[in-house]
């Protein structure tokens, strides 16, 4: 039985004051939690969030990492830096990074590999654009995105990744994939993992992301291959994030 994971992706949002109040509301609202929880925060706030979350069940994560260990890579964040702040997770291949930073499937796969080698759990995002869905390309696109990662990492490491299916057309738009649409893609992704290793396929978590909210989380998470959510907008409101955690 896979344990659900609810991971917040704060994206480029927050301030010292806003983070403090969001996290204190979050901590106050957590009781008898039955799922894994994480927040992936902007790098400048890692120290603050590490301190705020110490001793809680909420794990910390980064939103991206460099494939390089250190050196002349202005603006980038090394895996070891995330580890320094006790991060457990790091998002790789978010569609915003693929779209605005030109990240390719190969680069994303390298990032997943570096994360694993550093003891971080990569949350590997895959997803199709609306045009790709309408052209019937969903499985081909997300399959290629996932295959690039599966081809690069060690067989024994597959169970240590988290996959997040995030249809690009559903991110921040208020449009959600129907539970069955999401389930179909999740099942296809799990099948792809099983082609590499059946045991890992049964273990690996596949999250849904894309306008997941308190009012649609239950029907999405009721699907057999949906193991939680990667939450953008709703992770910025403690009351919404807590409702999704309660569902999970």
CB 175 within 8 A of CB 130: no
232 forms part of the interface with ligand PEP (CB under 6 A)? yes
By CB under 6 A, the count of residues binding ligand PEP is 13
14 forms part of the interface with ligand PEP (CB under 6 A)? no
CB 84 within 8 A of CB 100: no
Please identify which of the residues 103, 128, 166, 186 carries the catalytic annotation.
166
Is 94 tagged catalytic?
Answer: yes
- Among 23, 212, 223, 246, the residue binding ligand PEP under the rule CB under 6 A is 212
233 forms part of the interface with ligand PEP (CB under 6 A)? yes
**Min separation Cβ 84 and ligand PEP, Å:** 24
Name the residue among 125, 134, 143, 87 with its Cα closest to residue 232.
125
Please identify which of the residues 94, 96, 103, 186 carries the catalytic annotation.
94
Residue with tokens 């539970």, as numbered in its chain = 179
| Residue spans of alpha helices (H) in the chain | 16-29, 46-53, 79-84, 95-100, 105-117, 130-134, 138-152, 179-196, 198-203, 214-221, 238-247
210 forms part of the interface with ligand PEP (CB under 6 A)? yes
Q: Look at phi and psi of residue 54 and say left if phi exceeds 0, alpha if psi is from -120 to 50, else beta.
A: beta
Residue with tokens 């919404």, as numbered in its chain = 240
Residue with tokens 């890692």, as numbered in its chain = 46
Q: How far is CA 68 from CA 56, 107, 109, in A?
A: 31, 11, 13
216 forms part of the interface with ligand PEP (CB under 6 A)? no
**Min separation Cβ 166 and ligand PEP, Å:** 6
9 forms part of the interface with ligand PEP (CB under 6 A)? yes
61 forms part of the interface with ligand PEP (CB under 6 A)? no
209 forms part of the interface with ligand PEP (CB under 6 A)? yes
Using the minimum distance from each CB to ligand PEP, give the nearer residue, 110 or 176.
Answer: 176
Give the catalytic positions in this structure: 94, 166
List residues near ligand PEP by CB under 6 A: 9, 166, 171-172, 209-212, 230-234
């Amino acid at each position: 039985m896979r344990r659900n994971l609810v991971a917040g992706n704060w994206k480029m949002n927050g301030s010292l004051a806003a983070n403090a109040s969001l996290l204190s509301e979050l901590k106050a609202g957590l009781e008898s939690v039955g799922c894994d929880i994480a927040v992936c925060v902007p790098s400048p706030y890692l120290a603050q969030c590490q301190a705020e979350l110490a001793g809680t069940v909420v794990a910390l994560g980064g939103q991206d990492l460099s494939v390089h260990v250190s050196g002349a890579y202005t603006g980038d964040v090394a895996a070891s830096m995330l580890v320094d702040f006790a991060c457990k997770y790091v998002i790789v291949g978010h569609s915003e990074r693929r779209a605005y930073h030109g990240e390719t499937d190969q680069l994303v796969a390298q990032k997943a590999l570096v994360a694993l080698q550093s003891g971080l759990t990569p949350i590997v995002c895959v997803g199709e654009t609306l045009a790709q869905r309408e052209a019937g390309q969903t499985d081909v696109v997300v399959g290629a995105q996932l295959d690039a990662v599966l081809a690069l990492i060690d067989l024994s490491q597959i169970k240590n990744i988290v996959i997040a299916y995030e249809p690009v057309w559903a991110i921040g738009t208020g449009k959600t994939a129907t539970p069955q649409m999401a389930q179909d893609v999740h099942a296809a992704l799990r099948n792809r993992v099983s082609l590499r290793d059946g045991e890992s396929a049964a273990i690996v978590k596949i999250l849904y992301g894309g306008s997941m909210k308190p009012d649609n989380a239950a029907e999405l998470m009721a699907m057999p291959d949906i193991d939680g959510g990667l939450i953008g907008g709703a992770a910025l409101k403690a009351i919404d994030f807590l409702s999704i955690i309660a569902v999970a």
